[in-house]
Amino acid sequence: MLDRRDVPLGPLTTLRLGGPARRLVTTFDEPSLVEVVRDADARGEPLLVLGGGSNVVLPDAGFDGTVVRVCLHGLQATTQGDRVRLSAAAGEDWEAFVAMCVAERLVGVEALSGIPGLVGASPVQNIGAYGQDVSQTIRSVRAYDRRAGAVVELPAADCGFGYRHSAFKVDPGRWVVLAVTFELGVGGLSAPVGYAELARALDVPLGASAPLADVRDAVLSLRRGKGMVLDAADRDTRSAGSFFTNPLLSPDQAVALQARVAERCGADVEAPGWVGDDGRLKVSAAWLIERSGFGKGHFDGPVGISSKHTLALVNRGGGTTDALLGVAREVRDGVRAAFGVDLVAEPVLVDAVL
C-alpha cells in the first residue's frame, strides 16, 4: 500500500472538488484495506473510504483524518448451467466491468454502461439506469463490518436494496465493500428492455430484448447526449452524475403535487411519473427542476446546471464545493416552493448537509 500526507482529493473525484487529505492510504489488496480501516477505528481517527470519486462531494477544507483509497482488483467466475457467477473486487472499474460482460455475452448489466465509478460502489447506491439496476443481478456482497470487526458475506436479500438505496447507504460508517458477486445470464440478447427511451433508441417494443452490443451502444449514446459519460474535454461531464434522486410520493402526496402542477402549469399538464409496486409515484426530478425555473445551463459562474442535463450540477472550472452546495440548495428550495416536493441529494455529502 501507499501512504502519503497532505494529498489533494479533488483530482480523485469526477467533480474535481475537495481539499487535501491529511493522510491518504492507497490499498491494493483486501488484507491491507481491512488493516487500515481497523487501525483507524482503533485509534478513533476519522476515516473516509474513497473509490472512484464519482458519487461524492468533498469539502473545500479537505478531510482531517485518513482517506483510504480502494484499488482492489480481480475477477473470479463459476458456471452453473446457463448462469455465470462472477465475483469482482471492489476496485474494479465499473464501466470496464460492463464492457467485459457484454464482450463475453454475459447478460444483466448492459443497460448500466457508461456509469463512472467502481464495482464496490455499485451496491451501496444500488446504481441504476434505463430500466435496470444492479440489485437485479447481485448475488452477494463481501464486506468488512466495522461494528463487528469481521469480514462477512451478505446475500442480496440482506442488502436492503431499493430505489438508489441499500443497507450500506443507510449505515455508511459500518460497511466497507470488498467484492461483489453477480449472477448473470449467458447469451447474445439483452435482458428485456424496461425503459421507453432506450426501447425507442433501439427501435424495439418495450419489454423486448436486443443484441447486447446494440443495447450498450444505445445507452452510451444516450448518456453522452446528456453529458453523463466522462470526457476530459467536456466540462459538462465534470459532475457527480444526477445530483438529486427522483422523488417517491405517497398517493396523497401525488394528489397534492398534481394540484400544484395544475395551478402552476395548467390543468391539462401532469408531472411525468411512474407508479411502483409499492403504490408510490416516482416523479421526474428533472421535470420538477425545469418547471421550477432552473433550465439546462442555469447559473452563471464556475458551478451550475449542465447544459445537457438538468439533474447534473457541474464544476465548469475553478469552482468550490461551497458554491456547488449553494446551487443545490437554491434548486432544492425552488422546487419545494413551486411544487411542495423535497428533493434528496444522490451523492454522498462528506461533512456537509443540504
What string of pLDDT tens digits covers the 354 residues of the chain? 999 999 999 999 999 999 999 999 999 999 999 999 999 999 999 999 999 999 999 999 999 999 999 999 999 999 988 899 999 999 999 999 999 999 999 999 999 999 999 999 999 999 999 999 999 999 999 999 999 999 999 999 999 999 889 999 999 899 999 999 999 999 999 999 999 999 999 999 999 999 999 999 999 999 999 999 988 889 989 999 999 999 999 999 999 999 999 999 999 999 998 888 788 999 999 999 999 999 999 999 999 999 999 999 999 999 999 999 999 999 999 999 999 999 999 999 999 888
Domains contained in the chain, CATH given: 2-70 (3.30.43.10), 75-225 (3.30.465.10), 235-349 (3.90.78.10)
Q: Do 236 and 312 form a contact (C-beta atoms < 8 A)?
A: yes
Residue 157: count other Cβ atoms within 10 Å of its Cβ: 8
Distance of alpha carbon 340 from alpha carbon 9, whole angstroms: 36
CA 346 to each of CA 21, 169, 241, 330: distance values in angstroms, whole numbers, following the listed order: 23, 11, 9, 16
**Residues labelled catalytic:** 164, 242, 346
> How far, CA to CA in Å, does 207 sit from each of 176, 202, 204, 223?
36, 12, 8, 20
Cα(135)–Cα(137) distance, rounded to whole angstroms? 5
Collapsing DSSP to helix, strand or coil, 322 comes out as helix
Report the predicted TM-score, pTM, of the whole model to 2 decimal places. Answer: 0.92
